[in-house]
Amino acid sequence: MKNRPVNPYLPSWEYVPDGEPYVFGGRVYVYGSHDMYNGHVFCLGDYVCWSAPVDDLGDWRYEGVIYEKTADPYNRDGSMCLYAPDVTRGPDGRYYLYYVLDHVSVVSVAVCDEPAGKFSFLGYVHYPDGTLLGCREGDEPQFDPGVLTEGELTYLYTGFCGRGDKSRHGAMATVLGPDMLTVREPPVIIVPGSSYSEGTCFQNHAFFEAPSIRKFGDTYYFIYSSEHMHELCYATSKSPREGFTYRGVLVSNGDIGIGTYKDVDVPSAYIANNHGSVVEVGGRYLIFYHRHTNGTWYSRQGCAEVLTRTEDGGFLQAEITSQGLGGPLPAKAEYPAYLACCLYLSSSPGRFGVDCPKVVQDGRDGDREVGYIANVADGAVIGFKYLDFRSVSALTVRTRGYIGGKFTVRTSPGGEVLGEVPVGGSNIW
């Protein structure tokens, strides 16, 4: 597996969801929040960063902790979590990290001279009179900042809109001045939440959370998690603050919307929230997103797929795979089970439950233990995409546990049984 791109793209013991990818100086850097294995809530860790050469997206390097949660003056005791961040390069050439703490509805900013150095707290986004953005009368709470800098201006996108919450109207766009902190133009709504989407092009794919912004050519691409949570959608405009039109789904972490190997509306994995964005690398467009492990929402891992671009500048929905940013995996090899991109119990696809098969690891968070699949009960479906089986005619499965039964081998869920692998009880692999 050395340097071969796979999903998840980071080691199996690392849990970095909400990925925001950027190319700086010949490397792809991914910024995200930091979950823990067996965590009890989202985002328990400090911010860490990973990067890879643009010409070798299987060779990821750990850049270390770039920002500690206790660095924020509001969080010296560490009682709050660092939610999903974003990074932009300011007009002064430095790198600015924007984030929101889990119990404070204002936007914090940290700065660093390098893309993955040690960031230092800078301040809070505020109006010219010093009032913090999110605290002025009429302001809506700030959440999940996404940022884009052009010239001396930085466009800040924020928001969270739960279903049925009419107090929040949608995704907001705010313009900041060259100090990266002071509001130049106040927030405006660019994409509606579900309570205000009826009759618009966003109906049934209204804004929920996870705003992210990219610009390709002369077009702004607003990427967000929709009211369905499992999908990342996008809208485009020629202006950063108005005129956005819904364009489609980029990826679903349950492949809902993909009907090539299953029914289009049936999930192929356990669905929950999603967050990510797009980056162009060497002429390819890549979508970063996350999946859920350990049978909960709180131990998420980053994944990535290659997008297909259409002639009109749009994108087709990407299929979730085990190969990720590489080509089909040679079947004449041994692969860890955690690469499974299809994982569910046939009696309850897409729903977490006590008996659901799940990716886990031995040890505690931070232990470099290779992940595996536990809770493999009758009716469990485990799928890998895609494997090149040329010159291969047999399959071996390694198991551990007091079990008895067999695996059946198929090329699609419910397809023809091509072979069987009997398994027996053992307390070692």
Instruction: Give the CATH number for residue 75.
Output: 2.115.10.20
| In the block, residue with structure tokens 């913090």 | 132
Q: Is residue 87 part of a domain?
A: yes
What is the average per-residue pLDDT within 193-211? 98
Q: Is 18 a catalytic residue?
A: yes
What is the average per-residue pLDDT within 164-192? 97
Q: What's the pLDDT score for residue 350?
A: 79
Residues of the chain with pLDDT > 70: what percent? 100
Q: Is 355 exposed, middle or buried (0-12, 13-18, 19+ CB in 10 A)?
A: middle
Q: Per the confidence metrics, is the pTM higher than 0.85?
A: yes
Measured in whole angstroms, how far is the alpha carbon of residue 413 from the centre of its chain? 26
Q: What's the pLDDT score for residue 352?
A: 76
Q: Is the pLDDT of residue 15 over 60?
A: yes
Question: Rounded to whole angstroms, how far apart are CA atoms 389 and 381?
Answer: 20
Name the active-site residue from 14, 18, 35, 255: 18
Name the active-site residue from 14, 140, 209, 305: 209
Q: Is residue 288 part of a domain?
A: yes
Alpha helices, DSSP H only, in 6-138? none
Q: Is residue 249 part of a domain?
A: yes
Q: Is 35 a catalytic residue?
A: no
Q: What's the pLDDT score for residue 348?
A: 83
Confidence of residue 2 (pLDDT cuts 50, 70, 90): low
Q: Is residue 208 part of a domain?
A: yes
Q: Is the pLDDT of residue 286 over 60?
A: yes
Residues of the chain with pLDDT > 90: what percent? 95
Residue 194, token pair as written in the block? 């579900």
Q: Is residue 395 part of a domain?
A: no
Does an H or E element contain 87, and which? strand 86-89
Q: Is the pLDDT of residue 1 over 60?
A: no
Structural domains in the chain (count): 1
Residue 343, token pair as written in the block? 């994982």
Q: Is the pLDDT of residue 363 over 90?
A: yes
Between the CA of residue 211 and those of 82, 158, 214, 325, what are the distances in Å? 16, 6, 10, 23
Confidence of residue 30 (pLDDT cuts 50, 70, 90): very high
* 54-63, 146-155, 257-266, 351-360: least confident range: 351-360
- 340-352 pLDDT tens trace: 999 999 888 877 7
**Residue 194's domain spans which residues?**
20-329
Q: Is residue 428 part of a domain?
A: no
Spatial CB neighbours of 149, under 8 Å, sequence gap ≥ 6: 88, 89, 90, 91, 155
Residue 116, token pair as written in the block? 């993955």
β strands within 170-227, DSSP E: 170-176, 183-192, 207-216, 219-226
How confident is the prediction for the chain on average, in pLDDT? Answer: 96
Q: Is residue 83 part of a domain?
A: yes
What is the average per-residue pLDDT within 97-120? 98
